[in-house]
Copies of this chain bind each other. A is one copy, B any other.
Amino acid sequence: MQVSVESCFKVLPRGGVASPRGFRTAGVVAGLKSSELPDLALILSSVEASVAGVFTKSIVKAAPVLLCENFLQDTKGRATCILVNSGQANAATGEEGLRDAFDMSDIVASYLPETSPNQVLIASTGVIGKRIDVSLIDKALPDLIGKLGNSDEHNMDAARAIMTTDLVPKYISVEWECKGQVVTLGGMAKGSGMIHPNMGTMLSFLTTDISISPSLLRLLLQNAVDKSFNAITVDGDTSTNDTVLIMANGLSNVTVEPNSPEMELFEKALTWCCEHLAKSIARDGEGATCLMQVEVTGTNTDRDAQTIARKIASSTLWKAAVYGRDPNWGRILAAAGSAGVNFDPSQVSVWLGEYHLMKDGLPLSFDKAAVSEYMQKAAEAKYLSGMDQVNVYLKIGDGSGYGKAWGCDLSYEYVRINAEYTT
């Protein structure tokens, strides 16, 4: 299951959405945030690109989500750019909010001669129930377009401009060889932690220079999102604005056909990038001191394994135990048992890191101090170093099912952040 990244891909840790050929990006201060931090980003392809999106399953969808769904249907999955604002989510804003979103596309198109409004996708994140001041966007656009570029700084600026309460910007790119060409995939994301009221949106944008049909791109994106963004949980809540968009502009001249070796490699790269961004989001969960990775094997299906893994990663009791560095396997077992998946409890084994805590449904004796220290070390490891991760491993039976999920611990800080803010 595990992709050995090094053997297939070259990771560019400071790359991002402008790394693939023909993409440029920028992030500026438009004045939408009272903090006067960057709040507007644009991702622009020099040629029309195939586009696919995965959106929130919430019944309460923000205006930009409705716009994207509408445009992607209109254009059959083609676009040239994505405008992203932070500050206001443009959710619970009714008909007026929807008009604002369409106005934003119109404004961007008016600055880009060869782009029609329905080729300008929009994403928003921030406070719910407040309208966006569209005149500020109009005012900021010349500056934003003037600053477009494809350096490491451009990737970082864009990633910063989409942040709300994230502590760190999240961006990455990978490149690999395919049919004698170098192809590149870049991405950025902002977190799902809901600090300030209603700012809890997970946004991610990916770009690549492969050539691919919108329908195949849609399929591969959905698979990658299921294994990554849908496998993280900070507090179990779903936002009105959650959006993942990918653009593929074909400028590498490498075409990805269904079930080809090129597709397999691209899918691995896409899944790896999405997992990397998803883990960055989980690690940056509100008040989190460490990342938690849960792997489940031995179920009948992958779906069953992932369901159990997600249940454990989102158990507030187990999350609090991780914060307390308490190897309390009973909470892992209780979460697994309540996931709605059938299994034989007398076959369950549980590990924390290298430590075997339970075998065939019965507790083993283990060195509690050593396991607790293992957990503490994860919290003391450098942020996003790869070591700041507590590994939970469950073997449920003899099936071939495998699933993975990520979460973070539950700290005082989570409660403070979410309780002390006053709307």
Contact = CB atoms under 8 A, between A and B. Distances in A.
Interface stretch (A47-55, A113-121, A261-269, A342-350): A342-350
Interface stretch (A73-81, A168-176, A178-186, A232-240): A232-240
A231 B9 CA distance: 50
B419 A323 contact: yes
A368 B423 contact: yes
Nearest to A417: B320
A1 interface: no
Interface in A189-244: 194, 197-198, 200, 235-240
Interface string A395-411: 00000000000000011
Nearest to A418: B320
Interface string A75-91: 00000000000000001
A315 B361 CA distance: 31
Kindly state the interface size class of chain A when it binds its partner.
35 or more
A320 B198 contact: no
A320 B59 contact: no
Interface in A36-61: 57-61
Contact of A422 (B239, B362, B372): B372
Nearest to A316: B235
Given A57-B338, A334-B198, A411-B415, A361 B94 contact: yes
Given A328-B198, A343-B59, A237 B363 contact: no
A342 B220 CA distance: 27
Contact of A326 (B94, B336, B358, B423): B423
A314 to B, nearest CB: 8
Given A92-B330, A237-B317, A326-B197, A410 B421 contact: no
B324 A420 contact: yes
B59 A317 contact: no
Contact of A328 (B197, B320, B323): B197
A11 interface: no
A238 B326 contact: no
Contacts of A240: 333-334, 337
Interface in A324-378: 324, 326-331, 333-339, 341-343, 345-346, 348, 358, 361-363, 368, 372
5 smallest beta-carbon distances between A and B, as pairs:
A324-B419, A60-B337, A320-B418, A198-B330, A238-B338
